[in-house]
Amino acid sequence: MRIPRIIISGTSSRAGKTVISIGLMRALRNRGYEVQPFKIGPDFIDPSFHFFATGRNSRNLDSFMMSKKSILASFQKNARDADIAVIEGTMGLYDSHNAIDEKGSTAEVSKILKSPIALVVNIERISRTTAAFVLGYKVFDKKVDIKGAILNRAGNPRHARKAKLAVEKLAELQVFGVIPRDKNIVIPERHLGLVPAYERENLETLFNALAEIVEEHLDVDKIIKAAEEAPELKEVKTKEKKKKKFNCKVGVIKDKVFTFYYIDNLEAIKELGGELVFIDSIKDKALPEVDALYIGGGFPEIFAKELERNSSLREDIYEFCYSGKPVYAECAGLMYLGEKIYTLEGEDYEMVGFLPLNTRMRKKFQALGYTIHEVIENNPISKRGEVLVGHEFHHSEPELLGNAKFVFKVKRGKGIINGYDGMLKKNTLANYLHLHVLSHKKMMERFLSLAEKNKKHGRSG
């Protein structure tokens, strides 16, 4: 299978790969290309920008949470009808889940996909040293196909010429272009990373400005040529059993507060026959008729006052949880289902109040990284004895207000408290763990099965 593709990786986080990836995606789209975006790693925010830049849903490819076969299958399925795939890397090119092996790194995914790489190098305050940087990346793993460098944040034209010449002559690598330093071209950041695209206005203006910068300073034709020279991939043939279809409606709270959803998770629900009913936690005053509820991650602490004001919806959600219908909540969803959220400013706001905990915001990360959980009790998405691989990232600190049942034993990561995650009350499961359906393929099937079972028999948990 022939799929032109290029990975935009960085020498480190904040080298500029997100801005350059978005600019390249939009530049290619403006040229008439159908661009399929991907994001390496578990990030939720970058894919939201990819969508607005290309008009296509971005997919996560993560070699810690997913098998090689799953990565290849997802890539081929989603890129087969595109003209080119642009894949944004994670962290630095070789950064992984630990200091020794490559698991979870951009480098590992590049080898799985046999994809060429454009390496973004931040050249602030260096010139000839840029060549040493690039040469180190070239020789560190010769199975990684670095096709060219993008030098970012040049101070002036002379600086740009010196750094470019050093890389081409001393590191013997082509330079796709040099981008000048521009303090006006930034995407606002927040404590969990960039501010999600759904909260940004005037995205078209920003993305077209980024595309203009890419067209002016990069040789886009050379990047396209590198992508087109990517080797053919052997088509992955998946032998999937015929999926059972479930007749149920799944409410998904998806708005400016709760934005962290993997598109693959939502599509898995639809493929299983579930109907997605989207709910706005700020604007909707009542919970619609649904059989299950899915609450993803996001920033409830930013919108806590607005969430508190919508008391009628909070009351409906409390009653829904109490009825025993299945609810699955991750991170922000866990916070929302608790009693109160305490902000950094010392203010507190009432939430749904179904789960016995408060959450307090802290300036520093309370958890960040990949997780491994052992399931110790059956629950709406998993069975005892299974192992769940995911990730967690949050600044909130939980405070238990009473007895609670936990269904996950944390083998790697932090969880909610004392090495446990997955708070279960009736059929409401809430955790800090974020799961991707390609890492736990049965999760949505079990969730919908419970929803349909309760719907048919009118049972409560």
Return the residue matching tokens 């207000």: 401
Q: Which residues, other chains included, contact 317 with Cβ-Cβ below 8 Å and sequence gap of 6+? A: 287, 293, 337, 352, 354
337 token code pair: 């289902």
Are the C-beta atoms of residues 20 and 151 closer than 8 Å to each other?
Answer: no
pLDDT at 191: 45
Q: Which one from 214, 331, 381, 451 is the annotated catalytic residue?
A: 331
Q: How far apart are CA 365 and CA 397, in angstroms?
A: 9
For the chain, domains (ranges, CATH) are 5-228 (3.40.50.300), 249-457 (3.40.50.880)
DSSP 3-state of 117: strand
Helix-, strand-, coil-residue percentages of the chain, each rounded to 5: 30, 25, 40
Q: Which residues, other chains included, contact 422 with Cβ-Cβ below 8 Å and sequence gap of 6+? A: 373, 375, 379, 406, 407, 408, 415, 416, 429, 430, 431, 433
pLDDT at 189: 57
Q: How far apart are CA 19 and CA 14, in angstroms?
A: 10
* Residue 97: CB atoms within 10 Å: 16
If the chain, 461 residues long, is cut into consecutive pieces of 10 residues, what is the mean pLDDT of each piece?
98 94 98 99 94 97 98 98 98 94 97 99 97 97 98 97 98 98 69 52 85 97 99 87 88 97 98 98 98 98 98 99 98 98 96 98 92 98 98 96 97 97 98 98 97 79 47
Q: How many residues does the chain have?
A: 461
* Residue 41: CB atoms within 10 Å: 22
Nearest of 71, 72, 87 to residue 10 by alpha carbon: 87
248 counts as catalytic: no
Nearest of 218, 202, 240, 182 to residue 25 by alpha carbon: 218
Enumerate the H helices of 31-67 as residue ranges. Answer: 45-54
